């Protein structure tokens, strides 16, 4: 049963603000099995993506996280259908409109290749065999690295993107590429998670027809601490 259908069967209107643990476990069970067969990523890469977005935006008893909302599946399809491949380039570029060298899909693929290298050298195994704790170690290493380290990775990635414009064979270190991939995944995961129906309607402040604009009011009268979802 998919999650949306589950919600309908429960008769859950948009008025409910907090999901009870029972309902949540039901929702989560809809997503845990049967597995995840990525269309853009390899099986191992898909496994890594799912593990990592689960750690980035985990489920808690009140609010479902990225995996429970299917964010990993969304991202895989998004990369497949929205990002530009090398074959698509001629139809999407002209003299004045430029797409990153090799296409946008290539930069995601390069990121995953770097991740595979880093993962292999650190844990001596393929992504497909990676355990949650290993991915946690990796995320800590990169996304909680000291500010200076993160800035150095960012600068290297920036230089790499610039170099790519001139030379399609430009490279960066696997570490910088991994950092670039992880921050990219995090950004897209947050963006997509906030745009999932349940999150948008029942977790964040859903106000489809405000009717008024009050420019400066206490937060207690405006979403009660939640960001507007639209």
Residues at the site binding another protein, with contacts judged by CB under 8 A: 55-58, 60, 63, 65, 77-78, 81-85, 88, 91-97, 139-140, 143-144, 147, 150, 186-187, 190-197, 200-201, 203-204, 207-219, 221-223, 225-228, 230
Identity of the residue, 33 or 213, whose beta carbon is nearer to another protein in the bound complex: 213
The nearest distance, CB 105 to another protein, in angstroms, is: 9
CB of 97: closest distance to another protein in angstroms? 5
CB of 62 to another protein, least distance (A): 10
The residue (of 99 and 170) whose beta carbon lies closer to another protein is: 99
Nearest to 192 by CA among 204, 200, 203: 200
Q: How many C-beta atoms lie closer than 10 Å to residue 142's C-beta?
A: 21
**C-alpha distances in angstroms, 177 versus 63, 106, 110, 118, 143?**
32, 12, 8, 10, 13
Taking the least distance from each CB to another protein, the nearer of 124 and 217 is: 217
Token digits of residue 218: 């206490």
Q: Which residues are within 8 A (CB) of 145 and not within 5 positions of it... i.e. 6 or more apart?
A: 153, 179
Nearest approach, Cβ of 21 to another protein (angstroms)?
A: 16
Nearer to another protein, 93 or 125 (CB): 93
- How far apart are the C-alpha atoms of 137 and 209, rounded to whole Å? 44
Q: Return the number of the residue (36 or 193) whose C-beta is nearest another protein.
A: 193
Which residues is 94 bridged to in the sheet? 97
Tell the smallest beta-carbon distance from residue 41 to another protein (Å).
17
**97 pairs with which residues across the strands?**
94
């Amino acid at each position: 049963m998919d999650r949306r259908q589950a919600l309908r069967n429960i008769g859950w209107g948009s008025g409910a603000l907090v999901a009870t643990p029972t309902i949540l476990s039901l929702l989560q069970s809809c997503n845990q099995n049967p597995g995840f067969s990525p269309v853009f990523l390899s099986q191992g890469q898909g496994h890594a993506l799912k593990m990592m977005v689960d750690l980035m935006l985990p489920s808690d008893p009140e609010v479902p996280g990225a995996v429970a909302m299917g964010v990993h599946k969304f991202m895989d399809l998004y990369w497949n259908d929205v990002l530009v491949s090398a074959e698509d380039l001629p139809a999407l570029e002209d003299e004045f409109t430029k797409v990153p060298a090799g296409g946008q899909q290539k930069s995601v693929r390069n990121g995953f290749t770097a991740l595979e290298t880093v993962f292999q050298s650190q844990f001596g195994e393929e992504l497909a065999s990676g355990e949650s704790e290993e991915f946690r170690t990796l995320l800590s290493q990169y996304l909680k690295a000291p500010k200076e380290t993160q800035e150095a990775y960012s600068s290297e990635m920036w230089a790499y993107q610039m170099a790519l414009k001139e030379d399609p064979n430009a490279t960066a270190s696997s570490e910088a590429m991994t950092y670039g991939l992880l921050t990219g995944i995090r950004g897209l995961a947050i963006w997509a998670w906030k745009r999932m129906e349940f999150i948008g309607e029942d977790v964040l402040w859903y106000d489809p027809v405000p009717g008024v604009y009050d420019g400066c009011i206490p937060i207690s009268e405006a979403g009660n601490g939640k960001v507007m979802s639209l």
